[in-house]
């Protein structure tokens, strides 16, 4: 059978992703279905789920993907328009041998991609490259499969409701015209309190704002709605519903690591001494807080698939990233479901006084930069980090090398790592004083300069 080559940029560390009709094409979806389906079949599997987000290109991508999957002899269960977490849920609920979500996640409207599960686990890294090699060789299984639709929506909402234990808040919800909108609307009808949903209509052009809750500019509409309704808080989501953001009653952003600190305060009462994982970009205040609460703080690599794997290894009940991916294994499946995380966040606020703004005020104040991302060639980015690490080791620096370099000084810390998904370097600094932050920034600039890299202007 003739082989198929994907554009060299689309087979990424955690997913398959590209620009529609430029680097990612509809025929790619069929070839991916054939190659992925071949791996499922050869592992002894027979059934997979498929879901798709609200992007304009997603239904046709789904059609081609499912045709490719069925051509390998698999039974394909189409759950239809969904958030990524509902696809993950369906794999567990229907006990299938894998699943693929067609989504461009938080990327602009002209992007699309595929997030995959192999069995009940994430499919990433070398497994994605192996699927690419199978497509390249045209070494596909061939059989007469089938495609059928199954509606899991109500079962998904019922599952979310099972763990609700919150007071009656007034909340503004913003699914940002992403595919989570219908689930948000269905869920809030069953929650105590008053709920206002904005941007609930699924619209793949994202007419109101970019669907990425980690960028504060995307939260302006939510802040205005919280102020208008005198709400206790606002919750925001990305385009496919696996990342969450929050603002308090005063319109202040509650960042991913701060949300995790609040969640840890509740979880560690139920599971004393448990390991809680956060990525290397998280504040030192979070790791200190987990320890103070009697938990075991674990710093790990950035990337939702890598975090999920680490959770399994350590049997950790909770994990999270600065980017708003929050993972609950406690009472749940261990994957990043932003709606479920939202429920557990509301439960945690309820159990700790019921006032998000007060809980935010109670967290240690730190002065930090946002996550800084700057262009660097895809190969060179890893070399830069290696060079910086070697010089720091020679100088006897106090650092973690779990993902790039995170250097600890008396002022605080600075981080430099290579992105696994883009041709960029990622940096962040955090200190207890403005003067300390200036010194950390200077150290980072000098480390970059020694490798011939111009630091971004915001450093």
- Model confidence at 455, in pLDDT bands (50, 70, 90)? confident
- Model confidence at 458, in pLDDT bands (50, 70, 90)? confident
Choose among 362, 379, 361, 455: nearest CA to 414. 455
d(CA 85, CA 415): 30
201: Cα separation from own chain's centroid = 22
Say if residues 77 and 151 touch (Cβ distance below 8 Å).
no
Verify whether residue 105 is a known catalytic residue.
yes
Cα end-to-end distance, the chain, whole Å: 52
Burial class (CB in 10 A: 0-12, 13-18, 19+), 336: buried
pLDDT digits (tens, 9 = 90+) for 192-224: 999 999 999 999 999 999 999 999 999 999 999
Structurally, at CATH architecture level, domain 367-449 sits in 2-Layer Sandwich (3.30)
Task: Name the catalytic one among 58, 90, 105, 305.
Answer: 105
H/E stretch holding 351: helix 338-351
pLDDT digits (tens, 9 = 90+) for 272-312: 999 999 999 999 999 999 999 999 999 999 998 899 999 99
* Token digits of residue 129: 């490259």
Domain definitions of the chain by residue range: 16-151, 367-449
Same fold, 16-151 and 367-449: no
Report pLDDT for 388: 97
Burial class (CB in 10 A: 0-12, 13-18, 19+), 44: exposed
Q: Where are the alpha helices (DSSP H) in 123-246?
A: 126-137, 153-161, 181-188, 220-229
CATH code of the domain occupying 16-151: 3.40.120.10
Say if residues 242 and 338 touch (Cβ distance below 8 Å).
yes
Alpha-carbon distance values, 131 to 1, 34, 125, 233, 246 (Å): 15, 9, 10, 43, 37
- Model confidence at 457, in pLDDT bands (50, 70, 90)? confident
Q: What is the pTM of this model?
A: 0.95
Report pLDDT for 421: 75
CB atoms within 10 A of CB 228: 10
Tokens 């370097």, located at residue: 425
Burial class (CB in 10 A: 0-12, 13-18, 19+), 375: exposed
pLDDT digits (tens, 9 = 90+) for 230-249: 999 999 999 999 999 999 99
d(CA 129, CA 138): 14
């Amino acid at each position: 059978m003739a082989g198929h080559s994907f554009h060299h940029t689309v087979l990424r560390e955690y997913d398959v992703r590209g620009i529609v009709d430029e680097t990612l094409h509809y025929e790619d979806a069929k070839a991916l279905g054939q190659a992925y389906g071949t791996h499922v079949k050869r592992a002894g599997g027979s059934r997979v789920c498929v879901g798709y987000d609200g992007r304009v290109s997603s239904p046709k991508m789904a059609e081609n993907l499912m045709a490719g999957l069925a051509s390998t002899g698999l039974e394909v269960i189409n759950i239809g328009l969904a958030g990524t977490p509902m696809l993950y849920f369906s794999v567990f609920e229907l006990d299938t041998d894998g699943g693929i979500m067609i989504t461009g996640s938080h990327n602009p409207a002209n992007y699309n991609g595929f997030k995959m599960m192999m069995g009940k686990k994430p499919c990433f890294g070398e497994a994605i490259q192996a699927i690419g090699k199978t497509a390249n060789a045209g070494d596909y299984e061939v059989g007469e499969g089938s495609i059928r639709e199954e509606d899991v929506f109500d079962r998904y909402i019922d599952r979310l409701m099972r763990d609700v234990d919150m007071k009656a808040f007034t909340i503004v919800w913003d699914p940002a015209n992403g595919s989570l909108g219908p689930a948000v609307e269905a869920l809030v009808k069953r929650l105590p309190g008053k709920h206002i949903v904005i941007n609930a209509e699924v619209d793949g052009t994202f007419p109101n704002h970019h669907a990425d809750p980690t960028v504060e500019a995307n939260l302006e509409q939510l802040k205005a709605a919280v102020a208008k309704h005198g709400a206790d808080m606002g919750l925001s989501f990305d385009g496919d519903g696996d990342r969450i953001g929050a603002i308090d009653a005063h319109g202040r952003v509650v960042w991913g690591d701060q949300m995790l600190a609040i969640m840890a305060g509740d979880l560690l009462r139920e599971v004393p001494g448990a390991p809680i994982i956060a990525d290397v970009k998280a504040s030192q205040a979070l790791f200190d807080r987990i320890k103070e609460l009697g938990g075991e703080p674990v710093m790990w690599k950035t990337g939702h698939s890598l975090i999920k794997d680490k959770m399994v290894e350590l049997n950790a009940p909770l994990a999270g990233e600065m980017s708003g991916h929050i993972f609950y294994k406690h009472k749940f499946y261990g994957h990043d479901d932003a709606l479920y995380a939202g429920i557990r966040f509301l439960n945690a606020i309820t159990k700790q006084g019921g006032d998000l703004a007060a809980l935010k005020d109670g967290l240690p104040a730190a002065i930090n930069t946002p996550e800084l991302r700057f262009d660097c060639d895809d190969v060179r980015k890893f070399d830069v980090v290696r060079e910086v690490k070697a010089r720091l080791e020679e100088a006897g620096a106090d650092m973690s090398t779990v993902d790039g370099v995170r250097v600890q000084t008396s002022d605080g810390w600075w981080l430099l790592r290579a992105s696994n998904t883009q041709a960029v370097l990622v940096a962040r600094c955090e200190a207890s004083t403005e003067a300390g932050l200036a010194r950390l920034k200077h150290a980072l600039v000098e480390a970059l300069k020694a490798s011939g890299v111009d630091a971004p202007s915001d450093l």
